[in-house]
Amino acid sequence: MEKKVYRELGLTDAEFERIVKTLDREPTPTETAMFSVEWSEHCGYPRSRKYLRLFPQKGKYESLVGEDAGGIVYDGKAIIFKAESHNHPSQVEPRQGAATGVGGIIRDIFTTGARPIALLDSLRFGPLDNPLNKFIFSGVIDGIQFYGNCVGVPTVGGEIYFDEAYAGNCLVNVMCVGVCERDEIARARAQGPGNSIIYAGSKTGRDGIGGCSVLASSEFAAGECEKRPTVQVGDPFTEKCLIEATLEALKTGLVVGIKDMGAAGLTCSSAEMAAAGGVGVDVDLDKVPLRETGMEPWEIMMSESQERQLLCVQRGKEQAILDIFHKWGLEAEVVGFVTEKKQVVIRSGDKIVANLPADELAKAPIYEMAFEKPKTEKPKVKKPANNSRHLLKLLADPNIASKKWVYEQYDHMVQLNTTVYPGGDATVLRLKDKDWGIAVTTDCNARYCQLDPYIGAQIAVSEAMRNLVVTGADPAAVTDCLNFANPEKPDRFYMFKSCVEGIADACKFYNLPVVSGNVSLYNESPRGPILPTPMIGMVGIVKHINQRCSAPFKEKGDLIILLGETKTWTGMPDIDLKVEAKVQKACLEAIQLGLVKSAHDLSEGGLAVALAECCILGKIGASLNLNEPVDNNSLLFGEGQSRILITISPDNIFPLSDIAMLNDVPFQILGKVGGALLSIFKKQKKLLELPVKKMSDTYYHAIPNLLTPAETGEKR
């Protein structure tokens, strides 16, 4: 085979030679295509898998790990969740790239037997002063709302950041959460020689061919839009039918295993189901429903057409399953069977076009990657000339400003489970038949990871926990989306390696399992690499749903308390996990005892921004007098970790102080809620004063104003 052929599919010379040695012959075109997708970084993780083994898989709750999606078990319920990326497709085709990212992660959840109940999205874009960045931003948001709203799964939270580093390579990470009974979990494996393999869902076309090997497993070069044909096209209405048909089929007890046809399509689902079950499969491509004529076998095997999945069904029971999918208006055909020999055999009529060992195909080689610590410049902390103006500037920064323009386009109330809404620290969902609920969040400050990848990653885990704790949730488990640049460049790989080590050590310390995740490498364009962005998705248990807490200030006269210690801010990230754990424990205990009226963590913009957000969300002011022995800039705007802002009734100060002292947590009474202004004094000297209305207008209008054509002067 010519080098040009396998290299265009993403295989290296060494990988092709390994394939030839494994097969003791040259591979067929279909076999070459199958290896190219399964051994790609997007599917096989050859450059990252070594370090993923560092993640703990057990924690404080029973964990479920090892399938396409993982989760935890609480009170007999399995809470299944996972995050995935659709970065490169969204850069070249924003609406469809984002929409199919949503569809793909939803399928990962319901093919476990869990009903999807929530979506979150973690997004990164270039600055909105650039027309192309605006186009990508608006397109991605449109794709997310289109698919999520139509399919009937609420988009309840997430995060959005803007930075020049993402201008040539946006990040679209989507997390989905589902729930089922513990004993209803389905497995992503084929078993039982003689059992049938059923294809179900939409027909197969040419969309998405090479999406994982050609598009997702290389960095962008000039002419990136030429890759647009490799972006899939999604149909949320078909997906809704697929959800219902799949869950109905699983309840019959006739389905042995099931897997979503995501990246690598039929290749991934057939090979990985066979390898996971220790069996082989024999598939006839002539029986695969097609929506385009003249498709070659390799095209069928590589296609990433959406809304499709593969099932292993008990022999003799096929018709019952086929009837369910047909009832929902979906394609469903028996396309093959399970074999005892551990080979993936692909036929096209009477011709065998692929005959590959399942284990070799499903397990990509592992590479030792070179790494080298890059030089980073220490950030310069500038003292603002006017604190009030500086706070308004921060509230107008798109990285801090309200994302209401985005989340008001999402239906976050469908299914009627959302009890703490988007716009705060984390979202809280009730379960209709339980008196407990779950809190969900996504977090990552990529600038911290750029400055110190190990500590930055630990901060990402810690802040995700903090965001759950302030809602009254006990952090339970982690999923991740590890977004990094070209791993073949040692300074880039150092960032990946160090972030993974930071996440692993933090999760071990906090007793949190990493139950699922995704790696997205090669996020790099001619403009340069993205910032290292190890997005952390986290789920927590709210043990009594009526004790949930939220960020807005509530009532005039409530005391404003700071848990944790404010230190001099140098602009460099730092965290003490022991201190963080103590602060979180004290806050959670106080909320669970009913002492806390509001709670909000301190992060970007420090104390001043946290106070402003609580005032804005609560539509009420506050007056504070600060006495901590640090400079005013650190006091107001320092982003030191392990701090939480809470409000309580004055009657609860003594039980709160007992909790703080028992947990060895510093706490201070900063002031009181009330009035129409946010006024901050230090030793009776005014540091900052702003009307809540002015802060609110700045906070809510910042992003809409950036999206409004300047020449029209239109307000949105």
88 assigned to a ligand binding site: yes
The C-alpha angle 299, 305, 306, rounded to 5 degrees, equals 160
| Domain annotation for the chain: domains and CATH numbers | 3-38+187-362 (3.90.650.10), 60-184+402-547 (3.30.1330.10), 559-707 (3.90.650.10)
Instruction: Tell me the C-alpha distance between 517 and 538, whole Å.
Output: 11
Do 192 and 315 touch, CB atoms closer than 8 A? yes
Query: What is the per-residue pLDDT for 377?
Result: 84
Query: What is the per-residue pLDDT for 229?
Result: 53
Instruction: Please state the separation of Cα 62 from the chain's center in Å.
Output: 21
103-117, 222-236, 259-273: the lowest-pLDDT one: 222-236
Helix (H) or strand (E) holding 288: none
Instruction: Tell me the C-alpha distance between 356 and 271, whole Å.
Output: 9
86 assigned to a ligand binding site: yes
Per-residue pLDDT tens for 487-544?
999 999 999 999 999 999 999 999 999 999 999 999 999 999 999 999 999 999 999 9
Q: Dihedral of the CA atoms 52, 56, 61, 66 (nearest 10)?
A: 40
DSSP letters along 662-703, please? HTT--EEEEEEE-SSEEEEEETTEEEEEEEHHHHHHHHHHHH
603 assigned to a ligand binding site: no
Q: What is the mean pLDDT of the chain?
A: 93
445 assigned to a ligand binding site: no
Per-residue pLDDT tens for 57-87?
999 999 999 788 999 999 999 999 999 999 9
Strand partners, 600: 645
Instruction: Tell me the C-alpha distance between 482 and 315, whole Å.
Output: 40
269 assigned to a ligand binding site: no
Residue 226 clears pLDDT 60, i.e. is over it:
no
Residue 390 clears pLDDT 90, i.e. is over it:
yes
CA-nearest of 439, 462, 427 to 539 is 439
518 assigned to a ligand binding site: yes
The residue-averaged pLDDT of 306-335 equals: 97
520 assigned to a ligand binding site: yes
Confidence band for 195, pLDDT divided at 50, 70 and 90: very high
199 assigned to a ligand binding site: no
Sheet holding 644-648, edge to edge: 596-601, 644-648, 559-563, 667-673, 622-626, 677-682, 685-691
> Catalytic residue numbers?
42, 86
Please report, as a single letter, which amino acid is at residue 527. R
Residue 232 clears pLDDT 80, i.e. is over it:
no
Task: Tell me the longest C-alpha to C-alpha distance in the chain.
Answer: 88
